Amino acid sequence: MLVERGHQTAIFTRGREPGDQTLVLDRYVGERDGGLAAVPRDGWDAVIDTSGYVPAIVAASCAHLASAGRYLFTSSISVYDPTFPVHGDGHAPYTPRIADRPDDDPEKYGPSKRRSEDVVRAVFDERALLVRLGLLVGPYDPTNRFTYWVDRFAEGGDVVVPGPAERYVQFIDVRDAAAFMIRLLEEGRSGIYDVNGPLKTITMRALVKAAVETLQADANVVWVDERFLEMNGITGWVDLPLWLGPSHGMPGFMSTNIDRALADGLSLRPLDQTIRDTRAWSSTCSDCVSRESRAGITRERERDIRAAWIAG
């Protein structure tokens, strides 16, 4: 996308699948092992940091590239405290820090992102651009957190979906997020932007309807009470994505205010396009990523849950 817009790029990878104009290095190893020392310190108009969340590693990158014109740090809405009903726009309370876990512990992800943001701002000040992303969806997503539903409805049959049907969901096509991030850099923006789908607009019922119609699927939706799912061992976000049950106590989940991003030009493509493109990729890529780490339950487990629900 950057190249398409006429920008010259260099990609500082973590040693995976090098391509054109790529520096095949690893920011997580020492300088003598091919780390930051191989990256020129000067000459960069902008840095887009897509992988940082360990503050010490982000600090090293910032120090090495301190002369860059702007530093865009891709953060996360996980920095916000989800126990509050609505968060975002840079104003809501933050997730409490967890002092007794290492910085790379998954449970410390939000607080570590927040501390990394502080590191970026300390070095770049007004040249710092912090983009707090929501759930990214679309083609090439290896997590299955959105693709599960697209593929499941495409398959058809009786589909177990967590209720209530009017529960709001929130996500953003990765292509829309990327285009907006590039635009922010091109316009010389700075500060904090929460980048996600529209707030309290798409319900699970609307997503289901869009998927069935877009994919022309022969699917029958079985709405199952979320407390029943939890009582039967179904884990939110992992077993059935785009859902966290009431036991999590996170009313702010998928409730991010994105007013600033919308005011500054965030454009969101139609939901049916994301669904269609995701299915087009997934249907030809069933073996591209390991399914062991992907969200979603097996069809056997789904049948068991459906039978138990119907039996009452």
Q: 219 has which bridge partners?
A: 157
Structure tokens at 213: 């119609």
Q: What are phi and psi of 177, to 5 degrees?
A: -65, -45
Structure tokens at 71: 């530093």
Amino acid at 14: R
Stronger pLDDT, 149 or 83, i.e. the higher one: 149
pLDDT-based confidence at residue 34 (cuts at 50, 70, 90): very low
Q: Is the pLDDT of residue 17 over 70?
A: no
Q: 131 has which bridge partners?
A: 74, 193
pTM for the predicted model, two decimal places: 0.90
Q: Give the residue-averaged pLDDT of 12-37.
A: 55
Q: Which DSSP string do the residues of 234-251 spell out, in sequence order?
A: PPBTTTBSS---GGG--T
Amino acid at 77: I
Percent of the chain with pLDDT over 70: 87
Q: Point out the least confidently predicted range of 129-133, 153-157, 291-295.
A: 291-295
Structure tokens at 248: 């999590």
* pLDDT number for residue 162: 98
Q: Closest by alpha carbon to 186, among 275, 264, 106?
A: 264
Q: Point out the least confidently predicted range of 112-126, 182-196, 275-289.
A: 275-289
- What does the pLDDT look like over 72-83, one tens digit per residue? 999 999 999 888
* pLDDT number for residue 99: 56
**CA Rg value for the chain:** 21
| Domain-wise residue ranges, the chain | 141-171+201-253+271-312
Percent of the chain with pLDDT over 90: 68
Q: Point out the least confidently predicted range of 92-101, 106-115, 231-240.
A: 92-101
Distance CA 75, CA 231 (A): 34
Q: Within 10 Å of residue 186's Cβ, how many Cβ atoms? A: 11
- What does the pLDDT look like over 57-67, one tens digit per residue? 899 999 999 99
Stronger pLDDT, 104 or 247, i.e. the higher one: 247
In whole numbers, what is the pLDDT of the chain averaged over residues?
88
Amino acid at 116: S
Q: Give the residue-averaged pLDDT of 184-188.
A: 97
Q: Point out the least confidently predicted range of 78-87, 281-290, 291-300.
A: 281-290
**21 vs 3, 10, 18, 24, CA distance in Å?**
11, 5, 9, 9
Distance CA 161, CA 254 (A): 17
Q: Point out the least confidently predicted range of 40-44, 72-76, 148-152, 206-210.
A: 40-44
* pLDDT number for residue 9: 86
* pLDDT number for residue 16: 53
Q: What are phi and psi of 245, to 5 degrees?
A: -70, 170
Q: Is the pLDDT of residue 167 over 90?
A: yes
Q: Closest by alpha carbon to 130, among 72, 84, 180, 188?
A: 72
